Chains A and B, each alone.
Chain A
Amino acid sequence: MANLYWIPKAWLIPLLPALAFPFIAFITRKARGLSALTAILAIGVSLVISLGVLWEVIAHGITMDNPVEYSTVWLQIPQLLKIEAGLLIDPLSAVMLLVVTLVAFLVEIYSIGYMEDDPGFSVFFAYLSLFGASMLGLVLANNYFMIYFFWELVGLCSYLLIGFWYHRAEAARAGFKAFVVNRLADFGFLLGFFFLFIIFHTFNFRELAAAIPAYHNVGLLTVAALLVFTGPIGKSAQFPLHVWLPDAMEGPTPVSALIHAATMVAAGVYLLARAYVLFASLPNVMLVVAYVGGFTAIFAATIAIAQRDIKRILAYSTISQLGYMVMAMGVGSMTAGIFHLTTHAFFKALLFLAAGSVIHALHEQDIFRMGGLYKDMKVTTVTFIIGALALAGIPPFAGFWSKDEILAAAYHNGFLGLYILGTLVAFLTAFYMFRLIFITFFGERRAGLHGHESPPVMTIPLGILALLSIFAGFVGTPFTARGFSTFVYYAAPHEVEPDYMVMALSTLVALAGIALAWWLYGRPSDLPERLKESYRWAYNLLWNKFYIDEFYLWIYRRIFWGLAEAFHWHDRHVVDGLWDGVGDVTRASGQKLRYLQTGNLQTYALVFFTAVVVIALWMAGMGGMIR
């Protein structure tokens, strides 16, 4: 690999934001403008290098089978443990680098406007920089240890940014919940790669990829793979650990766009892709992955149709789309999963930022208190609709191509059930997105709320993301020669055959969803209310998110906490009581032997010492006897 210019500089990509973090926190904190400039400059340069890396990966024929790896030893214990700090650059990481740096760059620019009046402006940019560094480190990691390292750090950033407005009790609680739920998942993930380590004695992805196919203890490997999969279940908010993501919407909206829609939550999917060889060799585990993903997709989509909070609807949509990606991994198309990750990053970031523009103008998140916003917020409305079309899978928007590839993969790999389920999700997706659009942007204006368009610093990122939401899909259409599937793949590059039936059907159901949304919400009608009344139970079930939070809260408060209280009681009464009992006996004897009691610590020590010497002499005799 001679003449590489950008790739050997890839270590700078996470390092620059990493340096921006302490720089902002300790030096420029008082100077708001400088803080934002530092953060944006750092991620901007990282973006340029990422573009260079991607270009070189393409130009120099660096493929999934022929990656570039740099590595240095971080910690070594001879013959037992070697932990590397290393970079793995292949098409997968190159694409992901671009996605992360690009979205982060746009979100940070947008944040200048969105966070303008916030007293924590500089701290916000410091945290975003720390997040950028951690996320990029995660993407570049060449081994499980390092990916776990950064996995935890992005979790920290998520915690800090969800609770950014820590004076709000809900925000503090949401951050706490997010961290603890993810911790539970990471516990499994940690055990998973411990299993891999004790089998293969390495954390390195490529060394593992070489060793796994030759290993034949399927049982042990299955345990390891399932445990590794708990990591993505937490981070990518899959059922049953999805509960933290909707609450995470308490964070500022740019955070929701960057961390809780486009990048960090996709880290779970990225991990599946990185560890794909482990999963691909275990059909049973693949089945679990596929069904967890598929179930999550439909489960979250149904909840989304009943929500009223603009950000929560988008959050459930994110969960649902992440379910799609996980399902793609499970049905055997790593390419489709990553492709959808990429397009989703753009259009979901767009949707969140456009929603942020609405919230910025109205200070209101309940869609039923909005209406007719298109008159005041043209750019926001248009870009939001573009994002929604992409999400709903209307051709030729980006989401259509990637979602279609997932459905086609499910269909052709023999998962007919999941294919039908996925198509149903496409219908629901189109429905809940356009329900949101008709209620929020069209219809009558609500009294007291006057929208105004956001400043250009916010609308320009919207415009760029809108363009990406329209065009980004073209890199991977079935009609693109040497497209995405020949670039990011598992096992062998392949061309995607167009399946017109799948395409037509998914387009039709999406259009049907939009039509239904229009019929119910696009015109004056009391039908939605009547439906709600006649199917009260169903509405309650969806509105209350299937009562899963309540169930977990019950376990946490009643069982977990109750057990802890029991331990505490035990500690104070049984254990302490035991020793106090010993003390009481001593004291009672002391009552008898009052005249010996001086109340003087030295005297006690003397008694102890004498006793000890006696025992020691006895022991010495014992020691002699034992010999």
Chain B
Amino acid sequence: MSFPVLSAILLAPVAGLLILLFIPEREELTIKIVSALATLVSLVLSVAIYFLYDSSQGGLQFCEEISWLPEWGIKYSLGVDGISLPLVLLTALVGFTAVFASWDIQRRVKEFFIFLLMLVAGIFGVFMTRDLFFFYLFFDMAVIPSYLLIIIWGSTRKEYGAMKLTLYHVVGSAFLLVAIIATAIYGAKALGYFTFDLYSLSQVNFDVGFQKIVFFLMLIGFGVLVPMWPLHLWAPDGHVAAPTAISMLLAGVIMKLGGYGLIRVALWFFPEAAHYWAPFIALLSLVNVIYGAMVAMVQRDLKFVIGYSSVSHMGYVLLGVAALNTLSLDGAVAQMFAHGVMTALFFALVGNVYQRTHTRELARLGGLAHQMPRVAAGFLLAGLASLGLPGLNNFVAEFLIFLGAFGREDLMLGGSLAFRTVAILAISGIVITAVYVLRIVKNVFFGPPLPEWEGLSDVRGVEMVPIVVLGFTLIFFGLLPSLQINMIDASVAPIVAKIKAAKAIGGIF
């Protein structure tokens, strides 16, 4: 191992954070530039390893390892594969653009960026670590700063939103901690030594009864983050309260920790339980998709619409997980990336609108394409991605999930007809999505110019960074999906192989 590139990506925000500690509070521009540079380093390195990763070889690459608590088998060990690398890139993209989306922060600028960088570093850690203990540590490292960021810099009902979000996450992580410790103890007994190493633990043949319980705990723990119905309410309330950058990170990246954990840990460790719980997850995913989309449709606050749309879109990730096959899991990972980019773009643009109009009420907005054509164009792009327009990243992801769920080889659960019905109903979500997305485009940006918004300025300068970077990403992977899917597929394959080899047990229903 030559240059510890993953540590560099992880530590660049930490280094930025440390530098910020020594910069006086009033040097606001310097603070912003340092933050931007810190996240830029992560972004450049992430892009570099993304294209250096050898998909034909697959598996973990760029590995690093330092023993930390050897008697407990806890190691600082990093590595990325085709599942985590897109999410590392996602984190870098959203982290970088979130700094620019926060350019107009007025109060306590220094602390804001310190917490922001801490949050980004924590998320990087979750996606890179190969150690379950560190996984949990980084996970909580992301929860605490998001609480502070919302309660100090938030808006509408921020105390409520922040507390709700934090309680959901803390409760979820408690379930997770139980599951992780139980897994490690079981693993220690089976292996004869204590370890939190993901790969070593994945070699253990867990007892089916044990699998069922621990898988369920993880489903709750990770499901809160996804956010899986009925554990989803932190998302809309949290987003409405959160400042723009935090909404971007929450919906763009933190939700993906849930899907990532389900695939990386739950499916990989507990393949029999995956079969057992899959019909249950499929049903919940259907509720997520349809119910989330319909609730999004009737919202009166722009951020609530986007918040519920995330519930709906992340339901497709759950559907991909529930279908348990190569296509659907490839799609689920790609959907996490695509949704993250798309929703971060949405929140950045909503932030731009809110900053100028000081309202997010749909009833008061209208005709804004006259004053801010660039925001309108960006919003339309994000909206089109959201409704799965071909040529944009989300389409490929959703297509794979749909095809995987619809055409899954019969894996003895629930019967293929029942599953296919669920898949068809979930696919009908593309119609409802079109309704709510184009409805807000129409109500916010189209129609005659309103006198109230006369003279508002369009975005320019650094405000353009999120639109350009995230918009470009959506188009790039939309036109060249093989750069994304080939990588994911190589790493999904071993998990699917394990699921297919799993002893057949009936589904929960």
Contact = CB atoms under 8 A, between A and B. Distances in A.
Interface of A: 73-78, 80-81, 148-150, 152-153, 156, 159, 163, 166-169, 171-173, 175-176, 179-180, 183-184, 186-187, 190-191, 194, 197-198, 561, 563-565, 567-568, 571, 575-576, 578-579, 583, 601, 604-605, 608-609, 611-613, 615-616, 619-620, 622-624, 626-627
Contact of A173 (B291, B434, B442, B445): B442
A626 to B, nearest CB: 5
Contacts of A77: 326-327, 330, 485, 489
B45 interface: no
A235 to B, nearest CB: 15
A172 B439 CA distance: 10
B70 interface: no
B59 interface: no
Contacts of A609: 177
A75 B213 CA distance: 38
B415 interface: no
A78 B326 CA distance: 10
A176 B297 CA distance: 14
Interface stretch (B124-132, B180-188, B263-271): B180-188
Contacts of B485: 75, 77
B215 to A, nearest CB: 13
B156 interface: no
A187 B210 contact: no
A624 B481 CA distance: 46
A183 B383 CA distance: 14
A172 B189 contact: no
Interface string B370-401: 10000000000000100101110000100010
Given A75-B482, A194-B403, A176 B439 contact: yes
Which among A150, A172, A623 has the greatest number of chain B C-beta atoms within 10 A? A623
B209 A197 contact: no
Contacts of A627: 186, 189, 207, 210
Contact of B430 (A163, A183, A578): A183
A623 B182 contact: yes
Given A152-B389, A620-B185, A180 B435 contact: yes
Nearest to B408: A198
Interface string B259-300: 000000000000000000000000000000001001101110
Given A183-B431, A191-B424, A627-B207, A172 B402 contact: no
B427 interface: yes
B434 A179 contact: yes
Given A166-B446, A564-B298, A601-B147, A575 B233 contact: yes
B434 A611 contact: no
B182 A194 contact: no
B461 interface: no
Interface of B: 147, 166-167, 170-171, 174, 177-178, 181-182, 185-186, 189, 207, 209-210, 213, 229-230, 233, 291, 294-295, 297-299, 326-327, 330, 367, 369-370, 384, 387, 389-391, 396, 400, 402-403, 406-407, 424, 427-428, 430-431, 434-435, 438-439, 442, 445-449, 481-482, 485-486, 489
Contacts of B370: 167
B326 A80 contact: yes
B181 A616 contact: yes
A578 B442 contact: no
B295 A604 contact: no
Contact of B442 (A172, A564, A579, A620): A172
Contact of A567 (B147, B291, B384, B446): B291
Contacts, number: 158
A601 B166 contact: yes
Contact of B448 (A169, A568, A620): A169
Contact of A623 (B147, B186, B446, B486): B186
A365 B266 CA distance: 64
A78 B489 CA distance: 9
Contacts of B189: 623-624, 627
Nearest to A123: B373
Contacts of A173: 442
Given A166-B446, A565-B298, A608-B170, A620 B403 contact: no
Given A172-B442, A175-B438, 16 more contacts: A167-B370, A176-B442, A180-B434, A191-B427, A564-B294, A567-B291, A567-B294, A571-B291, A583-B167, A615-B178, A616-B181, A619-B182, A622-B182, A627-B186, A627-B189, A627-B207
A623 B208 CA distance: 11
Contacts of B407: 194, 197-198
Contacts of B207: 626-627
Contacts of B185: 616, 619-620, 623-624
Nearest to A190: B427
A614 to B, nearest CB: 10
A197 B408 CA distance: 12
A527 B461 CA distance: 67
Contacts of B427: 187, 190-191
24 contacts: A74-B481, A80-B326, A149-B390, A156-B389, A167-B448, A172-B446, A176-B438, A176-B439, A176-B442, A183-B431, A184-B431, A187-B427, A198-B407, A563-B294, A564-B295, A564-B297, A567-B295, A576-B233, A605-B170, A608-B174, A612-B174, A616-B185, A619-B182, A620-B181
Contacts of A571: 233, 291, 295
Given A148-B390, A156-B384, A169 B447 contact: yes
A74 B480 CA distance: 8
Given A190-B427, A620-B182, A623-B210, A561 B448 contact: no
Contacts of A167: 367, 370, 446-449
B206 to A, nearest CB: 9
B438 A180 contact: yes
B170 A616 contact: no
Contacts of A73: 482
Contact of A197 (B213, B390, B403, B486): B403
Given A75-B482, A564-B297, A601-B166, A626 B209 contact: yes
Contacts of B396: 75
Contacts of B446: 163, 166-167, 169, 171-172
B390 A152 contact: yes
A171 B446 CA distance: 9
Contacts of A623: 182, 185-186, 189, 210
Cβ-closest 10 pairs across A and B = A172-B446, A616-B181, A564-B294, A198-B407, A149-B390, A619-B182, A166-B446, A620-B185, A183-B434, A623-B186
Contacts of A179: 434, 438
